[in-house]
C-alpha cells in the first residue's frame, strides 16, 4: 500500500533528544535485555563479514549521516536501525525525534506502525492453523469467506499467501480511499475487490495485493474462533515474547512514535491518524525494534512452526515472493525481507538466517526511502565494506537546452520490464514504472504527475521525492535516445517512444 492510496505500504530513525540535530546519530542503545528464553536459540554462527561491532557502527553511521546532509532536515533519517546477530545487538542507533508532542527520544521499545511487515505474522498464523489441522492450505478461500462470488472459488489459501490469486488490490480503490477515516467493516472492504474480475488464472502469476492478506485475516478468525488480535496474542506474539506488538495501539499509546510526512516545502509534518481496521491482517500491526528482533529469534528457533513448514514459508512461488516474505540472493547470501509502510511510517525487516543476522529499520516519515536504506545496510553487513552515503545533488537550476533535449515519452525496456514484474509490489506501481513522461514547460522540467526534476552535475537529472537519479543515454548522433533510472537498488532502462 502506498501513500495517497487507502494505506501506505511498502526504512531508519529514533529520537535522541528534541534539542539535538536530527541528522546526527544518538548513542548506541541498550541491548534486547528481556528477550524471552523461549524465543532464543543457541547455534554456532560463522564470523560476521563486517568484523567487530565498532567497525560496523562506523560504517553504518557514516552512511546514515548522508540523509539530509545536502537537502535538509526533511530528508534526514528519523527512526531506529537495529542489527542483531544470534539475537544479540550488533548495532542499535537512534535518529531524530520519535514523538513530536512530547519531544521524547525513541529506543528499541518505541512503538511504530509497521504496515506490511504484518504479512509475515499473518502468514505464520495461517501456517500454524494448517499445522493444527484447523484448515488446509489447499482450501478454497470461499470455504472460509463464502460471501465471495463464485469466480473466486478456484483461489486457494496458498495462492493468497503467495500473492498469486489474481485478486485486485483494495488499496488501489479510489472510492474506498474516500472512506479511509472511518472504521471500515469487512463487508465494505470485500465489496471493493469482489466486484472486480480476477486478473488472471489463480496460481499462474505473481501480483502483490493487500486483498489477499485481508482475506487471510478473516480466514484466521473463522478457523480459530478468535479475533485476529486474540489469535496473534495467544499463538504468535505471546509465545515469542512480543509484548509491545498488536493492532490495539492508538496514536496516544505510551511510547508511540508520531507518524510524519513531508509537505510541499519538504518540511516534516505530523500525519492524520487513520484507523487500522482497513489495514487489518495486511498491514494493521504496530511493533517495536525489540519485538521484531524477537520475531527473528522465534523464526530461527522454530518456536511457532517447524522446520519443514518454515521451508515452505520461505520458498519462492512466483518471482522472489514466498509466503508473506520475499527470499532472494543479495550480496552472496540468502536474504528474507519485507518492507512495510502506512500513513506516517516507512519500515524494513530483513533476515540472513545462515549468518544469524536480522535488520530492523523503523521510521516515522512515510516519504523516507527505506528500501534503499535497508539495501545499503545489508550490503555493509554482508560485504563488510563501507557504502558511501547517497548523493544529495546540488540543483544547478533550470537549463532550457537540456530540458528540450530530454522532454518526451519513454517506455521501459523489456529486460527492465521483466525485473519490475518480478520484484516490484503493487500493480499500479508496476504500471506507473513502465512509462516515463518528462514535461518541459519552458520554466521547469517535471514528470507527468507534476513532480519536479532537478538538473544535477554530469548531465544527470534527479528527483527528491521519490529519490531517484536519471541519466540520459544518447544515440550515435548525440540525440537523447533513452534514460537510465536508478531508484534505490533498482536500475531501470527506458527507450524514447
CA-to-CA distance for 484 and 250, rounded, in angstroms?
43
How confident is the model over 97-151, as pLDDT tens digits? 999 999 988 899 999 999 999 999 999 999 999 999 999 999 999 999 999 999 9
CA-to-CA distance for 382 and 377, rounded, in angstroms?
9
Upper half-sphere CA count for residue 156 (Cβ side, 13 Å): 13
pLDDT reported for residue 19: 29
Count other C-beta atoms under 10 Å from residue 454's C-beta: 18
**Residue 239, burial from CB neighbour count under 10 angstroms (0-12, 13-18, 19+):** middle
pTM for this predicted structure:
0.89
Q: Which three cell numbers stand for residue 408?
A: 518526451
Q: Which residues of the chain have pLDDT under 70?
A: 1-43, 422-429
Question: Strands 452-455 and 461-463: what pairing?
Answer: antiparallel
Q: Are 316 and 145 in contact (CB under 8 A)?
A: no
Mean pLDDT score of the chain, rounded to an integer? 90
Residues of the chain above pLDDT 70, percent: 90
Q: What are phi and psi of 194, to 5 degrees?
A: -70, -20
CA-to-CA distance for 174 and 196, rounded, in angstroms?
14
Closest CA to 434 of 489, 485, 488, 370: 485
CA-to-CA distance for 129 and 319, rounded, in angstroms?
26
**CB proximity list for 121: less than 8 A, separation 6 or greater:** 232, 236, 237, 285, 295, 324
Closest CA to 461 of 414, 387, 407: 407
How confident is the model over 325-360, as pLDDT tens digits? 999 999 999 999 999 999 999 999 999 999 999 999
List domains and CATH numbers for the chain.
1-392 (3.40.710.10), 400-496 (2.40.128.50)
- Mapped to the 3 state alphabet, what secondary structure does 281-314 carry? HHHCCEECHHHHHHHHHHHHCCCCCCHHHHHHHC
C-alpha angle with apex 386: 381 to 390, nearest 5 degrees? 105
Amino acid at each position: 500500500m502506498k501513500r495517497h492510496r487507502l494505506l501506505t505500504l511498502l526504512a531508519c530513525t529514533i529520537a535522541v533528544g528534541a534539542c539535538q540535530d536530527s541528522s546526527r546519530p544518538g548513542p548506541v542503545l541498550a541491548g534486547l535485555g528481556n528477550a524471552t528464553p523461549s524465543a532464543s536459540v543457541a547455534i554456532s554462527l560463522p564470523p560476521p563479514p563486517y568484523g567487530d561491532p565498532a567497525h560496523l557502527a562506523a560504517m553504518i553511521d557514516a552512511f546514515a549521516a548522508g540523509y539530509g546532509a545536502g537537502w535538509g532536515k526533511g530528508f534526514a533519517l528519523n527512526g531506529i536501525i537495529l542489527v542483531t546477530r544470534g539475537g544479540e545487538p550488533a548495532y542499535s542507533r537512534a535518529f531524530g525525534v520519535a514523538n513530536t508532542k512530547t519531544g521524547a527520544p525513541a529506543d528499541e521499545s518505541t512503538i511504530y506502525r509497521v504496515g506490511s511487515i504484518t504479512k509475515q505474522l499473518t502468514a505464520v498464523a495461517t501456517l500454524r492453523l494448517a499445522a493444527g489441522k484447523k484448515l488446509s492450505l489447499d482450501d478454497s478461500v470461499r470455504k472460509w469467506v463464502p460471501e465471495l462470488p463464485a469466480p473466486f472459488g478456484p483461489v486457494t489459501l496458498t495462492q493468497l499467501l503467495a500473492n498469486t490469486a489474481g485478486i485486485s488490490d483494495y488499496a488501489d480503490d479510489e472510492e474506498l480511499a474516500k472512506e479511509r477515516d472511518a472504521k471500515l467493516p469487512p463487508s465494505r472492504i470485500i465489496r471493493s475487490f469482489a466486484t472486480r474480475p480476477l486478473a488472471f488464472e489463480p496460481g499462474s502469476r505473481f501480483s502483490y495485493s493487500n486483498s489477499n492478506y485481508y482475506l487471510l485475516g478473516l480466514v484466521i478468525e473463522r478457523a480459530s474462533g478468535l479475533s485476529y488480535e486474540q489469535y496473534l496474542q495467544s499463538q504468535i506474539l505471546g509465545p515469542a515474547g512480543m509484548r509491545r506488538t498488536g493492532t490495539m495501539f492508538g496514536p496516544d499509546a505510551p511510547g508511540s512514535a508520531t507518524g510524519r510526512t513531508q509537505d510541499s516545502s519538504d518540511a516534516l509534518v505530523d500525519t492524520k491518524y487513520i484507523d487500522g481496521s482497513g489495514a487489518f491482517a495486511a498491514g494493521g500491526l504496530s511493533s517495536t525494534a525489540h519485538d521484531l528482533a524477537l520475531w527473528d529469534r522465534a523464526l530461527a528457533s522454530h518456536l511457532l512452526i517447524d522446520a519443514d513448514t518454515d521451508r515452505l514459508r520461505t520458498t519462492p512461488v512466483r518471482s522472489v515472493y514466498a509466503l508473506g516474505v520475499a527470499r532472494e540472493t543479495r550480496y552472496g547470501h540468502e536474504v528474507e525481507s519485507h518492507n512495510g509502510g502506512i500513513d506516517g511510517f516507512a519500515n524494513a525487516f530483513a533476515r540472513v538466517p545462515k549468518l544469524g543476522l536480522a535488520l530492523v529499520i523503523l521510521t516515522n516519515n512515510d516519504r523516507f526511502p527505506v528500501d534503499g536504506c535497508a539495501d545499503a545496510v545489508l550490503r555493509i553487513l554482508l560485504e563488510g565494506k563501507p557504502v558511501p552515503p547517497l548523493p544529495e545533488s546540488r540543483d544547478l537550476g533550470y537549463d532550457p537546452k537540456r530540458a528540450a533535449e530530454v522532454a518526451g515519452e519513454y517506455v521501459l525496456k523489456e529486460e527492465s520490464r521483466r525485473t519490475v514484474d518480478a520484484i516490484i509490489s503493487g500493480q499500479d506501481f508496476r504500471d506507473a514504472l513502465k512509462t516515463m513522461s518528462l514535461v518541459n514547460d519552458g520554466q521547469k522540467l517535471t514528470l507527468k504527475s507534476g513532480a519536479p526534476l532537478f538538473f544535477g552535475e554530469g548531465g544527470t537529472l534527479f528527483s527528491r521525492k521519490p529519490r531517484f537519479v536519471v541519466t540520459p543515454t544518447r544515440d550515435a548522433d548525440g540525440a537523447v535516445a533513452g534514460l537510465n533510472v536508478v531508484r534505490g537498488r533498482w536500475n531501470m532502462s527506458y527507450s524514447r517512444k
